[in-house]
Amino acid sequence: MKITFMGAGSTVFARNVIGDCMCSEHLRDSVFALYDIDAERLEESRVILEAMRVTKGGFGSIECYCGVENRKEALRGATFVINAIQVGGYDPCTIIDFEIPKKYGLRQTIADTLGIGGIMRALRTIPVMEEFARDMEEVCPDAWFLNYTNSMAMLTGYMQRYTKVKTIGLCHSVQVCSYFLLKALGMEDKLENRKELIAGINHMGWLLEIQDKDGNDLYPEIKQRIEEKMNDPKCYDKVRYDYIRNFGYYCTESSEHNAEYNAFYIKSKYPELIEKYNIPLDEYPRRCINQIEQWRKEYAELLENGVKDHERSHEYASRIMEAIVTNTPYEIGGNVLNTDHLITNLPAEACVEVPCLVNGSGIHPCHVGPLPVQCAAMNMTNINVQLLTIEAAVTKKREHIYQAAMLDPHTGSELDIDTIKKMVDELIEAHGDYLPEYH
């Protein structure tokens, strides 16, 4: 079996996912094909993963493919393809996505999923993923494409609507959502055998039900305990706690992410909200710089002291592959097209995040029904942007980029239409060859 990793220069993530595969007796004998366009980073990943493979018993093999000219061979005959690319990287593209909007008074925290930063990231990534899809349709038409790249709903939704590739979008936040909520609120005693239902969209999936092992609803106690947390100056999850207060439910992704998915918290006319809710403006650029520096140190240490043994992570990828290969049922939270209205009060063409059953015949999304109307309404403010961004990528019409930015809750609440268009034009110009279709 062949497992291909696109964007293998993302060494830490590649180590986690491929390392997880090496922990599985059903996957460890695979050929692990690593693909990237950066030769230096690809070699770093090869060195780490090869050492890990030896540490794990020497099963399987690792192959490396560098550059677009070798991409098709990297994909040829793959059973599973993992996608973790970042088109344009931190420098220059992430810097552009933050600095130009900042000139117009538009501040961001992460800018990879929604907002003007998320729109631009999706537009420069979709053409690359379309090339992946065309190659896969030719050389591994039956492979599953496991997408981890943001903007998740836009990229996954595009692949599901406009290619023949079997695609599932995967995030880290669903499987740890209730765990970290209960732990943060001092309710660890409720963790064992808890029952939950999460559904919505990526990064704004709602914890609709949370019960202890005996079936008791935990939300009443959760709602009591968050009031104390909201008064804690060191609490960094206040946006999501505020969601519980005002919308009734907790959501999957962190407060720094959700602070920019709406019109409520990052507001130039209300600067005091930044401190009140502990919102880390410009968090992602800082995180990138720290991660780059941390990886340099870690890589030097690994070369000197050797690779430590890997323990299987909470990422879904290896579990999905194992469930399909062994026909052993496994449940995930996956990003899928809302075909047949899995969530009945969201549009059919939306990419939604719902429980999915995985087994030998593939990945099967579960019907959820309607979300609470306020939760569906919050999701729709994001879905509008996602659908218009996909429309721009398909039609190559700049007007749809304008419309996506205009309808983005945060952008539209801060800037007027003419300013939004001017900002979009400047971003397209600055991204240059990463967005050639719109010049």
Q: Write out pLDDT tens, residues 284-305.
A: 999 999 988 988 888 888 888 8
- φ/ψ region of 51 (left if φ > 0, alpha if ψ in -120 to 50, else beta) reads alpha
Query: What is the rounded CA–CA span in Å between residue 83 and residue 71?
Result: 13
Q: What's the pLDDT at 25?
A: 97
Q: What's the pLDDT at 309?
A: 83
- Which residues does the annotation mark as catalytic? 172
Query: What is the rounded CA–CA span in Å between residue 253 and residue 177?
Result: 7
Residue among 276, 278, 282, 242 nearest 262 (CA): 242
Query: What is the rounded CA–CA span in Å between residue 407 and residue 388?
Result: 9
Q: Which helix (H) or strand (E) holds 356?
A: strand 351-359
Query: What is the rounded CA–CA span in Å between residue 276 and residue 279?
Result: 8
Query: What is the rounded CA–CA span in Å between residue 205 and residue 354?
Result: 8
Q: What's the pLDDT at 308?
A: 75
Question: Which one-letter amino acid corresponds to residue 434?
Answer: Y
Instruction: Spell out the alpha helix ranges (H) of 252-397.
Output: 255-258, 272-276, 283-305, 317-326, 373-395
Query: What is the rounded CA–CA span in Å between residue 332 and residue 316?
Result: 7
Estimate the crossing angle of helix 373-395 against helix 398-407, to 10 degrees.
160
CA distances from 259 to 117, 199, 203, 251, 265 (A): 14, 19, 11, 12, 6
Query: What is the rounded CA–CA span in Å between residue 18 and residue 15?
Result: 5
Q: What's the pLDDT at 407?
A: 98
CB 323 within 8 A of CB 358: yes
Identify the DSSP state of 106: -
Q: What's the pLDDT at 251?
A: 98
Q: What's the pLDDT at 422?
A: 98
Query: What is the rounded CA–CA span in Å between residue 84 and residue 5?
Result: 8
Sign of CA dihedral 151, 428, 417, 256: positive
Nearby residues of 107 by Cβ (< 8 Å), 6 or more positions away: 101, 266, 268, 281, 282
Give the residues of the chain that fall short of pLDDT 50: none
> What does R_g of the chain's alpha carbons equal in angstroms?
21
Beta strand spans in 47-102 (E): 61-66, 80-83
Identify the DSSP state of 432: G
